[in-house]
Amino acid sequence: MTAAAQPDLEATYEAALELLAGRPLVLLTGAGMSTDSGIPDYRGPGSSNRTPMTYQELVSGPAAQQRYWARSHVGWGRMGGAEPNAGHHACARLDPDLLITQNVDGLHEAAGSRRLVALHGRIADVVCLGCRQTTSRLALQARLEAANPGFAQRYADVASRPDGDVDLDDPATYADFVVPACETCGGVLKPDVVFFGENVPKPRVERCYAAVDAVGTAGGALLVVGSSLTVMSGFRFVRHAAKADTPVVIVNRGATRGDDLATYKVEAGCSEFLAELAPAPVGKFTAEAEKLPPL
């Protein structure tokens, strides 16, 4: 970054904050939102090239299911233990008309966001592809541990991946991994999330479009935070807002697919920008402590 470029970035940052302040908002968040919680993203600066398993791969047979659940078993403890970061808490304070998240980690819900659509589902739930019964991922984790004692501990140092799994691609490492079946019908289990190759359920999409239309009509804006918008599931809402002349602000480190449609593109961290847009209130004890002389 050159010295001459810095003022332009600062001016864009301040202009974006000014545009968003006090307006009705729809907020769309992506994987960059959770990097401050220790969950890596797919396409941010420094990210390695990660290709998630597709739905077609998962249902192709036992080998693919062993591969998926072995990696997920090791990674679940890391994602399951992640805590909401300052950005998640700022989103809850901001309380937009609708928060649309592409993330499956559940951290927005944990931070207290209320009006929310988890576009791709939640990794904390598991669905049977046979009888469609939904169960807890935590319960499945116990079954996986019982069927594969010591497996997670053996690969505790393997690098994490964005979807809550790990880099465990050598078939020899999971060749003997035991994958439990549905306890009700014996069917194949899948995390209740939208895999590549699946479609986002239509009611979720319709609710998101309706919210974008509503804030546009009310003089509001669409704020995108921490998403490269590479996949259509999120990009379509940016395109829809821009077509209706609704202001779009994108906050992301690195280029996104929607940059040409944005009113402002802000190169900044998610938590940094959101905390400034929705600052935490100063409690009375903090305020009074600031008045006290140093010890």
Question: Looking at 169-173, 191-195, 257-261, which range is the least confident one?
Answer: 169-173
Distance CA 163, CA 106 (A): 12
**Cα 148 to Cα 227: distance, rounded to the nearest angstrom:** 36
Quote the radius of gyration of the chain (alpha carbons, Å): 21
Res 160: pLDDT: 59
Per-residue pLDDT, 29: 98
Question: What DSSP state is assigned to residue 292?
Answer: S
* Annotated catalytic residue 88: no
What is the DSSP pairing of strand 116-118 with strand 98-101? parallel
Residue, of 170 and 121, whose pLDDT is higher: 121
**270 labelled ligand-binding:** no
131 is in an annotated binding site: yes
Contact 87, 201 (CB under 8 A): no
pLDDT in tens, 174-219: 899 999 999 999 999 999 999 988 999 999 999 999 999 999 999 9
Judge contact between 265 and 242, C-beta under 8 A: no
- Report the pLDDT value the prediction gives residue 159, as an integer from 0 to 100: 62
Spell out the domains of the chain, with CATH numbers in brackets: 5-277 (3.40.50.1220)
Confidence band of 100 (pLDDT split at 50, 70, 90): very high
- Catalytic option among 73, 89, 108, 120: 120
Q: Supply the pTM of this predicted model.
A: 0.86
Give me the pLDDT at residue 156, please. Answer: 76
At residue 40, the pLDDT reads 75
Cα separation, 16 vs 225, whole angstroms: 12
> Is 185 marked as binding a ligand?
yes
Q: How many residues does the chain have?
A: 295
Residue 78 confidence class, pLDDT cut points 50, 70, 90: low
